[in-house]
Chain A
């Protein structure tokens, strides 16, 4: 028997944490989410769709949270939520496809950044349930993962509800008697099956009075929370929230997704509770932000710098990371927020916290990493 092969699924392993990546597809307008209400240029550039000073939830006297993001405010106050403004990639195409592709691959690189991370971390490939993507297909960022399952529901996970009990007994008998590496690996997989079956049989309500709305985003987050709480060895989960392409009538387009985002994340964090949240990291990202000035249809066009949200264990929250640019003189291209925080510099400290010792220059190549000080 090989002593290096241990039981992969145990309480210890989940303590290393789960990364949840929320991708806002369509180019979310960071300016109207984390509103620089103290910046006159902002109000000048957006006379119609700008959020007025008194209409935001003030964060620090200069920035305010869009009121549709109100459910996130308690997490800001408790220091669990950090915000990054002027975040994005160096891709200048302003094309949804190109920019998403670039960001998810991590530049001109093979595989996705998350897939590479899961392969490169020192404990790579030991968990049978490395990663899940909520949805019909895997996102590009998970390309190359040691294992990745696209699931709509937790019921599709593991062997599924139809595996006959005698089947597991038979496997247990055969693997118990197997020498070499297969025996312990079989027992580890059986332990994972037990965990998953306990999860799927268990229809308990979310914890701590968490109230998930019924939309698909929140339903997906609820599944992720169950997997995290079930300690099945999950290292990463991805989930998308679309509908951000606010070329026209910005509030009509964005208010709904903002509410879904905030309510979903609020329920998720509440459900996890302090103990589980301490070993969870949630990153919210988008392919690009939008033009500073509103267009003739009360919307905004594709821009560059956007917003990222980070919350989870150890985050130095209650802080907005940005060296705010002069919106009159420091815009880029046709009038876009510049990218002052490369998204890799946001991801790098998160990944380093989840898996210390990972060679991040291989995970996030093509950019000299300068990790933001996101943790206390």
Chain B
């Protein structure tokens, strides 16, 4: 769709700073922008530097992109103060988002068995909308970025077995509860998540007996993907020993149990209670369900885990191939703080490597879509039309089939540009049912077409970008489709 009344189109062609008044005329009545109530925004000051400044960089990395006014807010309080505030997510007033999140009643079902009353497609839809709501509107943006990170790290595709009813509980009690908490708590919650016990077959892992035997799937992924990394130095023997430690944990199943479906239980009869040796440490016989805490402790303390988590965090926040110097600092902090995620992230955000690498990462499709919605102050129901775009982009939430989660690196996403451009055209053309943005107010509030472009790109646009935008017939779409908007 060609936007009929395209944003920016009315401005004089080629006049990079032409517009309705320029910033100085607006600044007099620019209200404080901290309180982003509802979908409101006021006239705002966009980035004014030719390169990505500190505020833009921090917004790029710690959030799903600037909403109107965010750059001005971060500039006012200081980029480092903004980081500190985001790390202390609980102190951020997010009532607007919380109130809307409560509308997803299925996601708050309790006891878990209530979830099974729902059509599983309805649950996936609510989960997806809930995620889109938070990514676009929550003021606890770093927390949402980490929710996204851990959702992939502890990936569950809920289309397997009872998982399709139980993933909402994982999202709430595992990922969201501990996204900025302590890694050992997150890890233990994940191991005992009913959805994960389904997804990685932990529910059928038991001591060898007539009724079955060990299933190593969960133990292997626990070592390979969740903690130490594939080259972390564990052996096949460690995998088998960890599987023995985890044996006996199971979930009440929809097909077998009438009551308390989804409840996680430890069945001593199914547990292998003999002595084990994990990563060179002995776990004595007879600990029963206590084996789990021993395993968690051994894994969290292991230097490979610190390094593996640090490397992934640095990949997310610094570069596809993160500098070893930064990984070391972050890994050391992880170890010293026993996996305290706020402390660990705080250290990452202080590395010179974090501050030095700007605009060098490529947004994943979900990030791209959400950043476009945020930049245009769009209202969205997160419904079928928007989800269809995410499917075309190969990045629909909760739909990655294998346990490794959607990749963080750029390369697997390089073939998604065509659908990004299509999204840019459809969004700019107000052609996505259930999603719209206040075109006129954005124009007015940005002050000029160049400053609006600077708001989108996190820096002043280049002359080439302005020429491409103004001559394109769809200037907003062009800026959203441009190479610069794909990066952060």
What residue of chain A has the Cβ atom nearest to residue B414's Cβ? A185
- Complexed CA–CA distance, A111 and B1 (Å): 33
A143, A164, A188, A192: which has the most chain B beta carbons within 10 Å?
A164
- The verdict on A297 contacting chain B, using a C-beta distance below 8 Å, is no
- Do A171 and B481 have beta carbons less than 8 Å apart? yes
A108, A109, A162, A175: which has the most chain B beta carbons within 10 Å?
A162
- Do A111 and B159 have beta carbons less than 8 Å apart? yes
Write the nearest CB–CB distance from B420 to chain A, whole angstroms: 8
Interface pick from A29-37, A146-154, A253-261: A146-154
When distances are taken between beta carbons in the complex, the residues of chain A under 8 Å from B478 are 167, 170-171
- The verdict on A177 contacting chain B, using a C-beta distance below 8 Å, is yes
Write the nearest CB–CB distance from B464 to chain A, whole angstroms: 7
- Complexed CA–CA distance, A115 and B473 (Å): 36
- Do A144 and B400 have beta carbons less than 8 Å apart? yes
A110, A148, A169, A189: which has the most chain B beta carbons within 10 Å?
A110
- The verdict on A193 contacting chain B, using a C-beta distance below 8 Å, is yes
Report the interface size class on chain A.
35 or more
> Which of B393, B416, B417, B468 has a CB less than 8 Å from the CB of A173?
B468
What residue of chain A has the Cβ atom nearest to residue B486's Cβ? A182
- The verdict on B419 contacting chain A, using a C-beta distance below 8 Å, is yes
Convert B376-392 into 0s and 1s, putting 1 for each residue whose CB lies closer than 8 angstroms to a CB of A: 00000000000010011
Write the nearest CB–CB distance from A110 to chain B, whole angstroms: 4
- Complexed CA–CA distance, A125 and B415 (Å): 6
> Which of B199, B411, B421, B468 has a CB less than 8 Å from the CB of A110?
B199
- Do A116 and B417 have beta carbons less than 8 Å apart? no
- Do B157 and A147 have beta carbons less than 8 Å apart? no
Write the nearest CB–CB distance from A181 to chain B, whole angstroms: 6
> Which of A126, A145, A167, A182 has a CB less than 8 Å from the CB of B473?
A167
- Describe B's contact surface by its main secondary structure: helix
- Do B392 and A147 have beta carbons less than 8 Å apart? yes
- Do B159 and A128 have beta carbons less than 8 Å apart? no
- The verdict on B285 contacting chain A, using a C-beta distance below 8 Å, is no
When distances are taken between beta carbons in the complex, the residues of chain A under 8 Å from B415 are 8, 125-128, 130, 146-147, 185, 188-189
- Do B410 and A181 have beta carbons less than 8 Å apart? yes
- Do A128 and B419 have beta carbons less than 8 Å apart? yes
- Do A159 and B422 have beta carbons less than 8 Å apart? yes
What residue of chain A has the Cβ atom nearest to residue B422's Cβ? A159
Write the nearest CB–CB distance from B283 to chain A, whole angstroms: 31
- Do B417 and A186 have beta carbons less than 8 Å apart? yes
> Which of A144, A146, A170, A189 has a CB less than 8 Å from the CB of B471?
A170
What residue of chain A has the Cβ atom nearest to residue B429's Cβ? A162
Convert A180-200 into 0s and 1s, putting 1 for each residue whose CB lies closer than 8 angstroms to a CB of B: 011101101100110000000
Convert B6-43 into 0s and 1s, putting 1 for each residue whose CB lies closer than 8 angstroms to a CB of A: 00000000000000000000000000000000000000
The chain A residues found within 8 Å of chain B, CB to CB, are: 5, 8, 105, 108-112, 115-116, 119, 124-130, 138, 140, 143-150, 158-160, 162-167, 169-171, 173-175, 177-178, 181-183, 185-186, 188-189, 192-193, 362
The chain B residues found within 8 Å of chain A, CB to CB, are: 1-2, 156-161, 163, 199, 362, 388, 391-394, 399-402, 410-419, 421-422, 425, 429, 464-465, 467-469, 471-474, 477-478, 481-483, 486-487
